[in-house]
Amino acid sequence: MSSLGWMITAFLCAGAGIGGYVSTLVVRERRLTKHLDTLRKGS
Amino acid sequence: MATSPTTRRSRNLKLLGSAAWGLLALSLIFIFFVAREADDYPGGGPLQRIFYFHVPSAWVAYLAFAVVFISSIAYLRTSERRWDLLAHGAAEIGVLFTSLVLITGPIWARPAWGTWWQWDARLTSTLILWLTYLGYLFLRSLTRDPARSGRLAAVVGIIGFLDVPIVHFSVRWWRTLHPSGPTPADPTRSSGLGGPELLAFFTALVAFTLLFAWLLATRVRIGRLEDEVDRLEIEAERPDRGPASGIPVST
């Protein structure tokens, strides 16, 4: 692979890592907020 | 009209997130369109641009583990849940960014050195750091008792931080393949970076630092929500026993 190819691979890996983590945080926060609303309404 | 602390905190978090992502976008422009390409030696050329996010990732990992270290000491002294939440969040982010260091480094090394990995001091101590904090997260997942797992994890978090100076100074203490920048012993050694390259590098460094602050604040907020859910679920299961005990209250 060319130098450019390796550089793009590294960049995509870093982007996927950060993007993946941010997505899990966003999904977790939404799910918890929704669940919390349900629990508060029930109590 | 006066705003509540929760609303204000939420607005500050949004502002921090916007600043982090905005600066990250700007740093990408600087990295790919402003910084000049290095000479075409092994590890140079376009490949050298990996440096602009490899080094900031390592910086964020150091920062995250420093937060784990300080928060763990504070938690052992005070037993306040907020320190435990901070340490847990910072460890998670530290492991993420150490993973990025351990992925982007070998991607650079393969064409530059002709091998993915060398068991030299910098690489090996970084791998040990990653494994230590991976163990820290695993330890936390073993027990549902937050106070017990918090105390055990705090001890690991403090001991694990001892590896950070070893990682950092390994390139000076031992002969390694890993490149090093200017050192106090050799301050005249040039980093080889000109004005545009330094601009790209420091913009990325600040962007990654802001991103860390935003990720940590978001992670701590999720930790608080999890505590609140646990508390309400236990109260719902045992309505006759009053408020749930044993569930940490985030302060």
Interface ipTM: 0.90
- The answer to whether residue A5 is domain-embedded is no
Name the token pair of B244: 């749930």
The SS3 call for residue B186 is: strand
Q: How many separate domains does chain A show?
A: 1
Nearest to B153 by CA among B225, B230, B68: B68
- The answer to whether residue A12 is domain-embedded is no
- The answer to whether residue A3 is domain-embedded is no
Q: Which of B93, B107, B233 sits opposite A13 (nearest CB)?
A: B107
Beta pairing partners, B183: B186
The HSE-up count of residue B180 (CA atoms within 13 Å, CB side) is 22
The SS3 call for residue B183 is: strand
A14/B contact by beta carbon, under 8 A:
yes
Asked if residues B100 and A14 have their Cβ atoms less than 8 Å apart, the reply is yes
Q: What is the pLDDT along chain B (251 residues), one digit of tens a residue?
A: 566 777 888 888 899 999 999 999 999 999 988 888 777 666 678 888 899 999 999 999 999 999 999 999 999 999 999 999 999 999 999 999 999 999 999 999 998 888 899 898 999 999 999 999 999 999 998 877 878 888 999 999 999 999 999 999 988 888 877 877 654 455 445 556 778 888 999 999 999 999 999 999 999 999 999 989 988 888 877 765 555 545 565 55
The domain of A32 spans 17-43
For residue B123, the distance in angstroms to the closest alpha carbon of chain A comes to: 17
- The answer to whether residue A9 is domain-embedded is no
- The answer to whether residue A31 is domain-embedded is yes
Give the C-alpha separation, B157 to B72, whole Å.
Answer: 6
